[in-house]
Amino acid sequence: LAEYDTFDEWLYTYLSYQLYPEDDLPAHISAASASYRQEIIAHIEKHLGPISATFRREDSDSPVDLLWLRPSANRPYHTLVTLGLSDRPMDIPDSVPQKTMGERAELMIMLPPEWNISPDNLNSEQGYWPIAWLTMLADFARTPGNWLGTGYVFPNGDPMTEIADTPFSGVLVLPPFVSHPHEYYAFHSRDGTRLNLYALIPLYPGEIELKTAQGLDVLLERFDESGINSEVVNIHRKDSSR
């Protein structure tokens, strides 16, 4: 990080994606992982609709792709979902109850319909940050010794800084229980493996501090009191910590 002026500058320099119109799986993916990914794709399309395109990282050994689903009449927002984080189980400590229930996961983020998701906009920090954060957290969770789950918070640097042109300074990991049914974000593959789908919820600095000091339940209560009832990113929403 020392070579760059800011955390965001490092983030967008490090990542380079290309947009593919097909959702074909990369040739280097093992047969077992390919079969498993096809199950995930089928599950997502069953609940959300057809996949519009796939973002695949160029010049990288990371197996994590991003699936893009355009807005629809029933789902009026963009959806980006990782594919590949769940190829292997995360290293959840044995002390965590029912650890096998949380070992495999994929991440998602929901963006408003006016969000410009296009190859041209990938060159801008404003358009690219959701992709960058999905990728960064997927890479983190895949690293030996790391894991994530419900209630995890990731600040944008230390000290915290705003993400791109938003008022947010980090993200919360949470099942998308407001906008999606339980059978979508917690399901089992044919071999019985449990898979969890987590949404990234951008947070204001005060919300990060509130969650850190008083816990997830208090933050969610503040969300309710503030009328925050959607996981779709809204850069104009109220700061529930105030």
The reply to whether 57 falls in a domain is: yes
Q: Is residue 218 part of a domain?
A: no
Q: Output 8 or 232, whichever has higher pLDDT.
A: 232
User: Which residues lie closer than 8 Å to 148 by C-beta, 6 or more apart?
Assistant: 90, 105, 137, 140, 141, 173, 198
C-beta atoms surrounding 77 within 10 Å: 20
Backbone angles phi, psi at 55, to 5 degrees: -95, 125
In a domain, 153, yes or no: yes
Tens digit of pLDDT for each residue in 125-148?
Answer: 667 899 889 999 999 999 999 999
Examine residue 1 and state whether it is found in any structural domain, yes or no.
no
> For 143-167, what is the mean pLDDT?
95
- The amino acid occupying position 4 is Y
**232 located within any domain:** no
Question: Which pair of structure tokens corresponds to residue 104?
Answer: 């495999």
**pLDDT tens figures, 27-46:** 555 555 777 889 999 999 99
Lowest mean pLDDT among 51-55, 135-139, 191-195, 197-201: 51-55
Structure tokens, 219: 């933050």
**211 within domain boundaries:** no
Q: Find the domain containing 198 and state its range.
A: 7-202
Domain count, the chain: 1
Domain presence at residue 210: no
Domain assignment present for 54 = yes
Q: Is the pLDDT of residue 79 over 70?
A: yes
Tokens encoding 140: 């983190």
**Residue 192: predicted pLDDT:** 92
Residue 126: count other Cβ atoms within 10 Å of its Cβ.
12
Q: How far is CA 42 from the centre of its chain?
A: 19
What's the predicted TM-score (pTM) here? 0.88
pLDDT (0 to 100) of residue 25: 53
Question: Poorest-confidence range of 53-57, 166-170, 229-233?
Answer: 53-57
